[in-house]
A and B are shown apart, each in its own frame.
Chain A
Amino acid sequence: MENQGILVYLESTDGQILKVSLEAMNAARKLAQLSGKKVGAVLIGDASAAAAAASYGADEVLTVAAHGYQPDRYTDILTALCERYDVSCLLLGSTRDGKELAARVAARTGSGCISDAMSMTESGAWVRSVYGGSLQETVSAKGKAVVTVRSGTFGKPELDEGRTAPVTAETVDATPLRSVIKDAVQELSESVNLEDAEIIVAGGRGMGSAENFQLVHELATLLGGVVGASRPAIEDGWVLRNHQVGQSGKIVAPKLYIACGISGAMQHVSGMSGSGFIVAINKDEDAPIFEVADVGIVGNVTEILPLLIEEVKARKN
């Protein structure tokens, strides 16, 4: 890899690069266009996605051996590569692990760390949201940078199957682990692709019960869409947490977003205000969600949704 280039850490599971890592790759490609620098990609542990990394835009792929995810080991590896190649900008997807690694590598390499970037300006600065999404700031690192990219913001880079890149195996000496992952338990098996959905039907606290929340599922299925949710609906156990939209969930931009029993707190709205068309159903005519809705229906979700479901069914036939 050339010195002072851009490096992207690609997180993968079962040889599949995570979508948010591909978004980081897309951000890296944009940065490369601006700066004329090359983009290296690093795969740690499982190197089977090396060819895919090249077809998504890596100019070179680095691989490093590791036995399972251990944050201390991965921090060592990324720090060593940043130092070895004097990396100017390390990019990661904003997963929980990605954010931890970013903060730690930045501390060790003395880089400026920028969390949850949502877009890049023409001058290569990063835009991110603050105050729960009610404002956004444009920031840049003074010297070297470590940047995490929010899921649902940069989109995937174009896939060029014919594109290849040299693959180099790197070695980084192991040091004793200070914190150790002993066990990992998977609770959410089904993956939810809110970022790519064209239609999202989302439910909030106003749905009232797990039983009523089934109406959200029913309408989503009928429209060929995906179920979204506000935080309270998740906390109440009506739907799993990988359905969350907003500040601490996913940023989404479907063509149609139907918000049912959601008040429109900024932490929710900041995650869905990029939608093409927003329909809101709320019994409170002053609910803030109506301020961002293209169509607002003042009414009770338990009355409106069953009728809406009937109407959609009738149209389909």
Chain B
Amino acid sequence: MELLVCIKQVPDDTVNVTMGADGAPKLDDIAPVVNAFDTYALEMAARFKEANGGSVTVLTIGGEGAVPALRSCLSVGADRACRVEEASVCDPQGTAYLLSQASKKAGEQPFDVIFCGSESTDAASGQVGAQLAETLGLPVITNVLALEPKDGGISAKQETEDGYRVVEAACPCVVTIVKPDYEPRYPSIKSKMAARKMPVAVLTAADAQADASKFGPEAAKVQRAAISAPPQRQSGVKIQEKEAAEAVRRAMEIMVGQKLI
């Protein structure tokens, strides 16, 4: 099967983002990485391909700066990479629309399964996958933990609030991926070298026949009025005693004093 994985480059999610003096998040010093959920999606797609044949293409909307993200995907299971050169997309629906158009041009053959992460770790909207499916008029299965081919379509294990479901859909379809019970593979020196030499296709919005009135700032259906740091807590006392019993006694005294216990 032909598989497409939509990936987004995001700031390293282990770093605390602070506000800059200009009133925008300070991101310059934070290393860009592939969105964690997209790395799970790629690993699942790569395993699916290894078991069932086919190929894996990764697609992103982003500038030159997103090329390293695509290369890192090429070193861990992707066969082809494609970048949509477009900086003006501002909301999930615009992103979904542009991805839907680009997905028709990014492969040599039409894709059978399109993978998205369940959520990006920066914007955290968790909307793009489902909206991509709606835009393309395709079936969607969200929050997928595992995937296998079935009767020409797919059967997926979907994470729920209290367990899981078995969900089936015909191909082509869209799936959004949560953390499965395995980790993404690491690249080898050899696979990294090979990825460096692989081509990265570039599409413009015009190449993708995307209508700018459907994804640009004008089209954004959600507007940000402000961004700020959440209220900070003050730290209180730190108890550092040689004797654990003394530390516990002091902590208890405070908790009881505050009528918490």
Q: How far is the CB of A152 from chain B (nearest CB, A)?
A: 14
Least CB separation from A310: chain B residue: B248
Is B57 interfacial (CB 8 A cutoff)?
no
Q: Are A179 and B169 in contact (CB under 8 A)?
A: yes
Q: Are B140 and A106 in contact (CB under 8 A)?
A: no
A113 CB contacts on chain B under 8 angstroms: 92-93, 125, 127, 131, 221-222
A134 CB contacts on chain B under 8 angstroms: 16-18, 229-230
A291 CB contacts on chain B under 8 angstroms: 233, 235
Is A139 interfacial (CB 8 A cutoff)?
yes
Is B220 interfacial (CB 8 A cutoff)?
yes
Is B130 interfacial (CB 8 A cutoff)?
yes
Is B213 interfacial (CB 8 A cutoff)?
no
Q: Are B235 and A178 in contact (CB under 8 A)?
A: no
Q: Are B222 and A140 in contact (CB under 8 A)?
A: yes
Q: Which of B125, B225, B260 contacts A277, CB < 8 Å?
A: B260
Is A60 interfacial (CB 8 A cutoff)?
no
Q: Are B236 and A106 in contact (CB under 8 A)?
A: no
Q: Which of A107, A130, A189, A290 contacts B131, CB < 8 Å?
A: A107
Q: Are A131 and B122 in contact (CB under 8 A)?
A: yes
Query: Main SS of the interface on chain A?
Result: mixed
Q: How far is the CB of B158 from chain A (nearest CB, A)?
A: 8
Contacts across chains A and B counted by CB atoms under 8 Å: 242
Q: Are A136 and B230 in contact (CB under 8 A)?
A: yes
Q: How far is the CB of A223 from chain B (nearest CB, A)?
A: 7
Q: Are B167 and A255 in contact (CB under 8 A)?
A: no
Is A28 interfacial (CB 8 A cutoff)?
no
B167 CB contacts on chain A under 8 angstroms: 179-182
A303 CB contacts on chain B under 8 angstroms: 244
- Place the interface of chain B in its size category: 35 or more
Q: How far is the CB of A277 from chain B (nearest CB, A)?
A: 6
Q: Which of A100, A129, A285 contacts B230, CB < 8 Å?
A: A129
Q: Are A273 and B233 in contact (CB under 8 A)?
A: yes
Q: How far is the CB of A266 from chain B (nearest CB, A)?
A: 5
Interface residues of B in 119-139 (CB under 8 A from A): 121-127, 129-131, 133-135, 138-139
Q: Which of A137, A180, A265 contacts B227, CB < 8 Å?
A: A137
Is B19 interfacial (CB 8 A cutoff)?
yes
**Given A136-B227, A266-B16, A308-B248, is A186 in contact with B221 using a C-beta cutoff of 8 Å?**
no
Is A95 interfacial (CB 8 A cutoff)?
yes
Q: Are B166 and A133 in contact (CB under 8 A)?
A: no
Interface residues of B in 47-102 (CB under 8 A from A): 91-93, 96
The CA-CA distance from A125 to B227 in the complex, in Å, is 12
A140 CB contacts on chain B under 8 angstroms: 222-223, 225
Is B142 interfacial (CB 8 A cutoff)?
yes
Q: Are A137 and B224 in contact (CB under 8 A)?
A: yes
Is B188 interfacial (CB 8 A cutoff)?
no
Is A292 interfacial (CB 8 A cutoff)?
yes
Q: Are B173 and A179 in contact (CB under 8 A)?
A: yes
Q: How far is the CB of B94 from chain A (nearest CB, A)?
A: 11
Q: How far is the CB of A180 from chain B (nearest CB, A)?
A: 5
Encode A127-146 as 1/0 by CB contact (under 8 A) with B: 01111111111111111000
Q: Are A112 and B91 in contact (CB under 8 A)?
A: yes
The CA-CA distance from A116 to B118 in the complex, in Å, is 14
The CA-CA distance from A188 to B162 in the complex, in Å, is 5
Q: Are A107 and B126 in contact (CB under 8 A)?
A: no
Q: Are B235 and A293 in contact (CB under 8 A)?
A: yes
Q: Are A130 and B122 in contact (CB under 8 A)?
A: yes
With a 10 A CB-CB cut-off, give which of B11, B155, B223, B254 has the most chain A CB atoms.
Answer: B223
**Given A130-B227, A135-B17, A135-B230, is A115 in contact with B124 using a C-beta cutoff of 8 Å?**
yes
**Given A107-B130, A115-B127, A179-B168, is A141 in contact with B222 using a C-beta cutoff of 8 Å?**
yes
Is A47 interfacial (CB 8 A cutoff)?
no
Which of A2-10, A203-211, A294-302 touches B? Answer: A294-302
A128 CB contacts on chain B under 8 angstroms: 124
Least CB separation from A137: chain B residue: B227
Q: How far is the CB of B125 from chain A (nearest CB, A)?
A: 5
Least CB separation from A112: chain B residue: B221
Q: Are A130 and B124 in contact (CB under 8 A)?
A: yes
Encode B133-172 as 1/0 by CB contact (under 8 A) with A: 1110011111100000000000100111111111111100
Q: Are B239 and A115 in contact (CB under 8 A)?
A: no
The CA-CA distance from A136 to B126 in the complex, in Å, is 16
Q: Are B240 and A188 in contact (CB under 8 A)?
A: no
Q: Which residues of B contact A (CB under 8 A)?
A: 11, 13-14, 16-19, 25, 91-93, 96, 121-127, 129-131, 133-135, 138-143, 155, 158-170, 173, 220-230, 233, 235-241, 244-245, 247-249, 251-252, 254-256, 258, 260-261
Closest 8 CB pairs of A and B: A112-B221, A178-B139, A107-B134, A187-B163, A294-B236, A179-B169, A103-B130, A103-B127
Of the A-B pairs whose beta carbons lie under 8 Å apart in the complex, a sample of 6, sorted by A's number, is A104-B133, A130-B122, A131-B121, A179-B169, A266-B16, A293-B238
Q: Which residues of A contact B (CB under 8 A)?
A: 71-72, 95-97, 99-100, 102-104, 106-108, 110-116, 125, 128-143, 178-189, 199, 223, 242, 247, 255-256, 265-267, 270, 273, 277-279, 285, 290-300, 303-304, 307-308, 311-312, 315
